[in-house]
Amino acid sequence: MKLVRDARTLKLKAIASLRTAMTGFNSFGEDGRVTTVLLHLQHASEMLLKATLVQKRVQVFDREKQFSLGFEKCVNLAKMHCGVTEDEAGIFKAVDAMRDAAQHWFVYVSEDILYLHTRALVTAFDSVLKRSLDDDLSSHLPTRVLPVSTMPAGDFDFLIDREYKLVAELLAPGRRAQDEARGRVRAMLAMESHVADDVEISERDIERVVKAIKGGKSVADVFPRLMALRATATGAGPTVKIKIEKKVGAPVRLIASDDPAEAGAVREVDLRKRFHMSATDLAAKSGLTPPKANAVRQGCGIDGDAQCCRVFQHGSMKFPSYSDHALTKMKKAVDDHGIDAIWAAHKGKAAKPVPEVRAA
């Protein structure tokens, strides 16, 4: 595959950062090791995602601000245009959330959780590199430098349960270990990014988790989102591949940000940030006129989908707002059926209605 110039440059930057992350992971020194690994894993992920977007001719600059797009936006665009899966996006976002906590405050990531996420990110990185840029990691990194640990990745549920019990012990009276306990809680909150959008870790969230743990709540009550995950490993030794993915059929209980329940990690963060588009914005970003965008919305059932639409109310006025899920669903509908067929069905001229398109 012939890469465009910027995609080639961004790919090389991604691989360089991944090399640095691997060097940091396997180093003898402990001081700053976790932060070094997280910083460079996140940078490698962002450069890779931008390389794939540039290769697909997707705009990666904010035209108004004239700055390149942030990490979260790149992940969403890569899901829409470059075939990045939900599981791959989840590991990218989880590492980014841990990196954010490490860079701007502090976080405590245990060795086996760090290994699990590093290996899972390397697996996702290699998959995206092969699929979108026709390259493979083995051409740039020998397997001997990939993350190696004397603590093999264990069952994900076991790791979370162990971390939870350790935090409870650290919070016990007389331990004087509040900083480590809160750092471990911050890491667990960051891991919610595997299954949730727009996860932000505030001191209020940490306080709620600490209060719940001290109150004797179970890990399933406080971190139900993490209970919806599992880690699967294939291969052995330096060639092992790890995926962190959702359990099939695992129940996830969502609680709004203003819900008084004590489950500290179950929250929808900043709903206005998630549902950030008006109907006009949605039409413009989908490349449709407002009437045709409305036809697609109705054909897909977007206004009735809680993942796509939320109505905010100010006094007697109501303002429907839409998420990136709505844009993805609309674009899939147009790609699958064509705007002419959708418009005809909307106007009552088609013999059969356009089937509802469900979000992936």
**Can you give the chain as a three-state secondary structure string?**
CCCCHHHHHHHHHHHHHHHHHHHHHCCCCCCCHHHHHHHHHHHHHHHHHHHHHHHCCCCCEECCCCEECCHHHHHHHHHHHCCCCHHHHHHHHHHHHHHHHHHHCCCCCCHHHHHHHHHHHHHHHHHHHHHHHCCCHHHCCCHHHCCCCCCCCCCHHHHHHHHHHHHHHHCCCCCCCHHHHHHHHHHHHHHHHHCCCCCCCCHHHHHHHHHHHHCCCCHHHHCCCHHHEEEEEECCHHHCEEEEEECCCCCCCCCCCCCCCCCCCCCCCCHHHHCCECHHHHHHHHCCCHHHHHHHHHHHCHHHCCCCEEEEEECCEEEEEECHHHHHHHHHHHHHHCHHHHHHHHCCCCCCCCCCCCCC
Most confident of 57-71, 83-97, 222-236: 83-97
pLDDT, tens digit (0-9, with 9 covering 90-100), for 4-39: 999 999 999 999 999 999 999 998 889 999 999 999
Q: How high is the pLDDT of residue 265?
A: 44
Q: Which residue has the higher pLDDT, 151 or 205?
A: 205
Question: What mean pLDDT do residues 304-321 have?
Answer: 85
pLDDT at 55: 96
Q: Is residue 145 predicted with pLDDT exceeding 90? A: no
Can you tell me the mean pLDDT for 150-158? 69
pLDDT band at 316 (very low <50, low <70, confident <90, very high): confident
Q: How confident is the model at residue 268 (pLDDT cuts 50, 70, 90)?
A: very low
pLDDT tens-digit series, residues 90-118: 999 999 999 999 998 889 999 989 999 99
* % of the chain residues with pLDDT over 70: 86
Q: Residue 82 pLDDT more than 50?
A: yes
pLDDT at residue 256 in the model: 45
Range 148-169 average pLDDT: 80
**Summary mean pLDDT of the chain:** 85
Residue pLDDT, tens place only, 164-223: 999 999 999 988 899 999 999 999 999 988 887 667 788 888 999 999 999 999 998 898
The pLDDT score that the predictor gives to residue 40 is 97
- Whether the predicted pLDDT of 354 surpasses 70: no
- For the entire predicted model, the pTM comes to 0.68
User: pLDDT of 120-140, one tens digit each?
Assistant: 999 999 999 999 999 998 889
Report the pLDDT value the prediction gives residue 267, as an integer from 0 to 100.
Answer: 47
Give residue 206's Cα distance to chain centre.
20
